[in-house]
């Protein structure tokens, strides 16, 4: 069940997916971000946290067409209010 939304395009995501965000570290190879690290980056990159994550190890800001402007606006507002994904639920 999607319960958090991309602040850029409004795409729905399951908050649990923040547990599985791949990261590439030059020192240790591939790995996974912690839930807190992913939660801190999601407001900045939105869906880009998952898209193109293997191109040089860099996250890219979501540039997808807006699918739900109301959900994106709500997500941006909630990200400003609280850093806790369980409080971003819509």
Structural domain spans, the chain: 4-83
Question: Facing residues of 30 across strands?
Answer: 24
pLDDT of residue 26: 47
Average pLDDT in the 48-54 region? 69
pLDDT band at residue 25 using 50, 70 and 90 as cut-offs: low
**CA–CA separation, 13 vs 10, rounded Å?**
9
CB atoms < 10 A from the CB of 21, how many?
A: 21
What pTM was computed for the model? Answer: 0.83
Asked whether the beta carbons of 48 and 60 are under 8 A apart, the reply is: yes
Give the residue from 18, 22, 32 showing the smallest Cα distance to 84. 18
């Amino acid at each position: 069940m999607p319960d958090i939304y991309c602040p850029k395009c409004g795409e729905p995501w399951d908050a649990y997916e923040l547990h599985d965000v791949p990261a590439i570290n030059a020192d240790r190879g591939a790995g996974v971000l912690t839930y807190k690290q992913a939660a801190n980056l999601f407001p900045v990159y939105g869906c880009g946290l998952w898209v193109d994550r293997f191109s040089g190890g860099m996250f890219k800001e979501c540039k997808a067409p807006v699918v739900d402007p109301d959900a994106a606006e709500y997500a941006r507002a909630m990200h400003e209010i609280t850093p806790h994904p369980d409080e971003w639920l819509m």
